[in-house]
Amino acid sequence: MHRSAPRLTRILACAAVPVMLVAAGCSSDDSGPGPSASPSSPAAGASAAPSSPAPAPSVAPAKFAKLPDACKAITAKTVEALVPDVKTKAGTPGKSTDVASRGSCSWNGLEDKGVEGSNYRWLDVSLLRFDSEQALGSGEKRAQDKYVAKVAEVKATEGAIDVRTSSAPGVGNEARAVSYSLKKTGETFRYGVIVARTENAVITVSYNGTGYAGADAPSAGELMEGTVKAVKDAVAAVAAANK
């Protein structure tokens, strides 16, 4: 009876060993690293790197790269017909720091008709050219915006009366004619103005006049007819300068 007790104790101790090993195995699941993603795999929840932004669409190149000499944009024949007794046949150029983008010229003359009075005429031309720029848009679009703004500016001439506007077909890509009267130096001056756009260039021609000492002021129709002739010269000159 006494010899069986130690044997029983050894059997119970051995029986307890697997239980302890199982318990140890469970605790190692809690404390160990456990299965994990491969080191080369991206961390769970990580987002892909952002893609580069798409480049902005390029603007179309401007058609015209230069302007003609403004004082040669209207032919000598036209100047002679519109401005009798012109003071300076070659014209008086306006100041410009960038003649490839802007220029202007004017002519004036006073025709003395003796007892019938005197006829005064003034003709001027303004040329503007716009380049294509990524930040500002195409040269054509910039010219379109300037064309609209210039027509509005002419229509809003301070002191202008009897303002009338109409289209000017056959002049560049688009053109608008504006006629009005203006009181100056005690006389009524009549104006014919055409603003035209040809591709990326904007042309403005103004032709005006009055009569002194009893001479009649020119009619609106006469002035506009002369303005059309001059602006067509200028449109052709811009095209010729870029051939």
Residue 181 lies in a domain: yes
Q: Where does the pLDDT of residue 50 fall: very low under 50, low under 70, confident under 90, or very high at 90 and above?
A: low
Residue 110 lies in a domain: yes
Average pLDDT over residues 216-239: 96
Contact 215, 117 (CB under 8 A): yes
Q: Above 90 in pLDDT, residue 45? A: no
Which pLDDT tens digit goes with each residue over 150-162?
Answer: 999 999 999 999 9
The CA angle 135-173-144, to the nearest 5 degrees, is 30
Average pLDDT over residues 108-114: 92
Q: Where does the pLDDT of residue 37 fall: very low under 50, low under 70, confident under 90, or very high at 90 and above?
A: very low
54 exposure class (CB count in 10 Å sphere: 0-12, 13-18, 19+): exposed
Residue 161 parent element (H or E): strand 161-167
Measured distance CA(26)–CA(126) in Å, rounded = 94
Q: Where does the pLDDT of residue 178 fall: very low under 50, low under 70, confident under 90, or very high at 90 and above?
A: very high
Q: What backbone torsions phi and psi does residue 106 show, to the nearest 5 degrees?
A: -140, 155
Query: Cα torsion at 86, 89, 95, 98 (round to 10°)?
Result: 140
Measured distance CA(163)–CA(178) in Å, rounded = 7
pLDDT, position 116:
85
Across the chain, mean pLDDT equals: 85
Residue 8 lies in a domain: no
> One-letter amino acid identity for 218?
P
Residue 1 lies in a domain: no
Q: Above 80 in pLDDT, residue 70? A: yes
Q: How many domains does the chain have?
A: 1
How large a percentage of the chain has pLDDT more than 90?
A: 69
Neighbour count for residue 127 (Cβ, 10 Å): 26
Residue 28 lies in a domain: no
Residue 142 parent element (H or E): helix 139-155
Give the range of the structural domain holding residue 83, as residue numbers without chain letter.
70-241
Residue 33 lies in a domain: no
How large a percentage of the chain has pLDDT more than 70?
A: 77
Residue 32 lies in a domain: no
Q: Above 60 in pLDDT, residue 12? A: no
- Where residue 188 sits, what CATH number does that domain have? 3.40.1000
* 18 or 72, greater pLDDT: 72
Measured distance CA(212)–CA(112) in Å, rounded = 9
Q: Nearest CA to 201 among 64, 55, 37? A: 64
Q: Nearest CA to 189 among 164, 169, 216, 166? A: 216
Residue 92 lies in a domain: yes
